[in-house]
Copies of this chain bind each other. A is one copy, B any other.
Amino acid sequence: MLKTRFTETFGIKHPVVQGGMQWVGTAEMVAPVANAGALGFLTALTQPTPEALTKEIARCREMTDQPFGVNLTILPALTPPPYEEYRQAIIEAGIKIVETAGQNPAPHLPSFKEAGVKVLHKCTSVRHGVKAQSIGVDGISIDGFECAGHPGEDDIPGLILIPAAANQITIPMVASGGFGDGRGLAAALALGADGINMGTRFMCTQESPIHENVKKAMVEMDERSTNLIFRTLHNTARVARNSVSDEVVGIEAKGDASIDDVRHLVAGARGRIVFEDGDTEHGIWSAGMVLGLINDIPTVEELVTRIVAEAEELIKGRLANCLA
């Protein structure tokens, strides 16, 4: 057992988080995470409507009696989803932990606070973490360059981002991006974080609701098996390296890629296709550099237990033994 400010503040057994993942963050993923004593988040916008989210929360409750949360990612859009209605669905379902991401969560904080919901805000820079802290969130999830999905445009890895953030963040902080084992958890604690968030590593578990072929591909891939796409659109995403993402990178490298060029290429190659037919080579799917540290497909329970035990053993063994 590892006790930190995160486990205390959020009332979770282990300092391990499974943050929001579009399409992946359903009850099938979150319930085993909760049962393993870690903090899982259902992804609100993976559900087509607030009503569907209400049903998904109820479904997850049937699969676990442990606490879990909901991720609410707020992105700019011409016709945005009904965020207030999703928020209301979360509150009315009695969820007590929310992970916000994307834009400033300020508009949603009063309602969450009134309902006793703790907010963990995910961001990719020290300045955004400091801003979120100043408006009253309960914890920061600081997401480094290594991460799957959106690393931001600063390209600051966890080794720098975590201690730089820790210099200014006084509330509990979770380190995200590049984590997959107990070495990473112990390192995160040393760097000033109070726990770790994992996405890619949780995707590669028995229970994760993605195609078996994708999991097998993840085991085969290494730390060089990702690409950064949409750089030229200032909306960078780290995805698995394959023929489609290599082609996007190639177009963008020419320096004259238009938004239409890139969108046209990516259209029809979205992640759900990968999940549904298991064709890892012909879709765009998010994956982090931690692919280099993933060598098996354990159950969620095995994974969480192993990570915590390895971190404990490192602290008691390897690190303590360095003290001459």
Q: A: which residues have CB within 8 A of B?
A: 1-4, 15, 126, 144-146, 154, 156-161, 163-164, 166-167, 177-179, 181, 183-184, 186-192, 222-224, 253-256, 289-290, 292-293, 312, 314-316, 318-320, 322-324
Name the B residues within 8 Å of A324 (CB-CB): 1-3
Return the contact of A158 from the options B4, B154, B157, B254 (Cβ within 8 A): B157
So how many copies of this chain end up in the complex? 2
Give Cα distance in the complex from A222 to B312, angstroms.
Answer: 33
Instruction: Report yes or no: B315 in contact with A319, Cβ–Cβ below 8 A.
Output: yes
Name the B residues within 8 Å of A154 (CB-CB): 223-224
Give Cα distance in the complex from A163 to B189, angstroms.
Answer: 16
Name the B residues within 8 Å of A177 (CB-CB): 159
Give Cα distance in the complex from A228 to B290, angstroms.
Answer: 23
Nearest Cβ on chain B to A128's Cβ, whole angstroms: 12
Tell me whether A189 and B157 are in contact in the complex, defined as CB-CB below 8 angstroms, given that A163-B181, A223-B164 are known contacts.
Answer: no
Instruction: Report yes or no: B184 in contact with A159, Cβ–Cβ below 8 A.
Output: yes
Listed residue (A4, A160, A177) with the most chain B CB atoms within 10 angstroms of its CB? A160
Give Cα distance in the complex from A290 to B191, angstroms.
Answer: 13
Return the contact of A160 from the options B164, B192, B290, B322 (Cβ within 8 A): B290
Name the B residues within 8 Å of A1 (CB-CB): 323-324
Give Cα distance in the complex from A146 to B3, angstroms.
Answer: 30
Instruction: Report yes or no: A189 in contact with B322, Cβ–Cβ below 8 A.
Output: yes
Instruction: Report yes or no: B315 in contact with A189, Cβ–Cβ below 8 A.
Output: no
Tell me whether A156 and B292 are in contact in the complex, defined as CB-CB below 8 angstroms, given that A190-B183, A255-B254, A256-B255 are known contacts.
Answer: yes
Give Cα distance in the complex from A3 to B322, angstroms.
Answer: 5
Name the B residues within 8 Å of A164 (CB-CB): 222-223, 292-293
Name the B residues within 8 Å of A126 (CB-CB): 223, 292
Instruction: Report yes or no: B157 in contact with A159, Cβ–Cβ below 8 A.
Output: yes
Name the B residues within 8 Å of A145 (CB-CB): 145, 157
